[in-house]
């Protein structure tokens, strides 16, 4: 097992290097750079641009240098913890992303937990009571959850929350806590605000996990090893959780890897609608304005999270399934 973990960790290094090159390359693919974009915007709105100043900026950030020089500059900075400078915000990338990333990871983790806690028992119930009334109800609700666009659900829940529960909706904090230092009251405020995003972002994930678990479990319940376990005289619930559920969880676990980054980038539209101070909207804007260091850093972060997620799910898989561990 230890061997496997070490091997998996070492494999991550070349992948990471490759991804960083690729993401930097992709950001540079559109013609021009932040400055040409900036000039175009200024001129479109009727302003004038000091060309000498632009040229000075271009030289200062090395935008006139070839691709590889720019990449090496950026990546050596990243290794020292300096992610570069955001042109649009006029601030170091570091100052911009960490708090948002922290909030995003907490909202995402909560959502993931919500998803699992809801999906697991319903999935098991639906599979063991196939074609029962309960199964049909959950299936219908699940498909509705899948079908309703997230932003729509967000709008409805916001309206309901505001109209009937008097919640201050939108954002992750009430106005009085937004700039306040961290305290228990602020944490509670965050929890209250996180409820709607959690439900909105979690709904479709929950629905698809229920379907996956149900289908897997239905397959596993028919396997001969379940009959063997029954022929040993064991109790049905014991058999269910010891044998088929454990195997049915394997695909469940392997999705952890994709869920992490998806939770961060996938909810951009919801974050815009709900005015969440998470990473999604910031990433969207930085891409539109070709704010290359900010966008690059975000994409790098998302890639790292994907790798970490896959790593975690691989370790969990090896732990659950000995056939992976020993091959």
Binding residues for another protein, per CB under 8 A? Answer: 223-225, 227-236, 242-243, 246-247, 320-323, 326
Between 176 and 236, CB nearer to another protein:
236
Contact 260, 182 (CB under 8 A): no
Between 244 and 257, CB nearer to another protein:
244
Q: ∠ at Cα 308 (305, 314), nearest 5°?
A: 140
Give the separation between CA 158 and CA 153, rounded to whole angstroms.
8
Contact 177, 189 (CB under 8 A): yes
Tokens of 324: 């992976």
Q: How far apart are the first and last CA of the chain?
A: 11
CB of 124 to another protein, least distance (A): 17
CB of 33 to another protein, least distance (A): 53
Burial label, 292 (beta-carbon count in 10 A; 0-12, 13-18, 19+): buried
Between 87 and 125, CB nearer to another protein:
125
CB of 219 to another protein, least distance (A): 12
CB of 317 to another protein, least distance (A): 11
CB of 233 to another protein, least distance (A): 4
3-class DSSP assignment, residue 277: coil
CB of 4 to another protein, least distance (A): 15
Say which residue the tokens 């001969």 belong to. Answer: 224
Burial label, 288 (beta-carbon count in 10 A; 0-12, 13-18, 19+): exposed
Between 163 and 230, CB nearer to another protein:
230
Between 80 and 323, CB nearer to another protein:
323
CB of 116 to another protein, least distance (A): 20
Say which residue the tokens 């097992």 belong to. Answer: 1
Between 25 and 225, CB nearer to another protein:
225
3-class DSSP assignment, residue 131: coil
Between 91 and 242, CB nearer to another protein:
242
Give the separation between CA 216 and CA 325, rounded to whole angstroms.
21
Which of 131, 97, 142 is CA-nearest to residue 283? 97
3-class DSSP assignment, residue 71: helix
Which of 72, 67, 38 is CA-nearest to residue 55? 38
**DSSP letter assigned to residue 243:** T
CB of 226 to another protein, least distance (A): 8
Between 64 and 236, CB nearer to another protein:
236
CB of 318 to another protein, least distance (A): 11
Between 129 and 163, CB nearer to another protein:
129
Tokens of 303: 């890639």
């Amino acid at each position: 097992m230890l061997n496997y973990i070490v091997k998996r960790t070492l494999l991550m290094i070349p992948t990471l290097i490759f991804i960083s090159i690729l993401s930097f390359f992709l950001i540079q693919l559109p013609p021009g750079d932040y400055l040409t974009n900036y000039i175009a915007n200024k001129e479109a709105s009727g302003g004038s641009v000091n060309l000498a100043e632009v040229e000075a900026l271009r030289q200062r950030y090395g935008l006139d240098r070839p691709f590889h020089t720019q990449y090496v500059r950026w990546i050596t900075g990243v290794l020292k913890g300096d992610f570069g400078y955001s042109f649009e915000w006029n601030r170091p990338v570091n100052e911009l992303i960490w708090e948002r990333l922290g909030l995003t990871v907490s909202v995402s983790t909560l959502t993931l937990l919500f998803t699992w806690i809801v999906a697991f028992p319903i999935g098991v119930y639906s599979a063991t009571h196939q074609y029962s009334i309960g199964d049909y109800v959950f299936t219908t609700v699940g498909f509705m959850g899948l079908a309703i666009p997230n932003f729509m659900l967000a709008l409805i829940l916001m309206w309901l929350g505001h109209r009937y529960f008097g919640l201050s909706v939108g954002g992750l904090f009430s106005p009085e806590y937004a700039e306040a230092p961290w305290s228990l009251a602020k944490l509670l405020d965050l929890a209250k605000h996180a409820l709607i995003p959690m439900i909105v972002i979690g709904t479709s994930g929950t629905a698809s996990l229920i379907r996956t678990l149900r289908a897997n479990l239905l397959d596993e319940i028919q396997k001969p090893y379940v009959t063997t376990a029954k022929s040993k005289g064991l109790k049905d619930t014991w058999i269910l959780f010891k044998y088929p559920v454990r195997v049915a969880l394997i695909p469940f676990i392997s999705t952890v890897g994709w869920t992490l980054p998806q939770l961060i980038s996938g909810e951009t539209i919801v974050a815009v609608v709900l005015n969440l101070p998470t990473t999604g909207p910031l990433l969207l804007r930085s891409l539109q304005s070709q704010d290359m260091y900010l966008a690059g850093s975000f994409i790098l972060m998302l890639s790292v999270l994907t790798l970490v997620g896959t790593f975690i799910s691989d370790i969990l898989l090896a732990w659950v399934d000995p056939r992976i561990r020993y091959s």
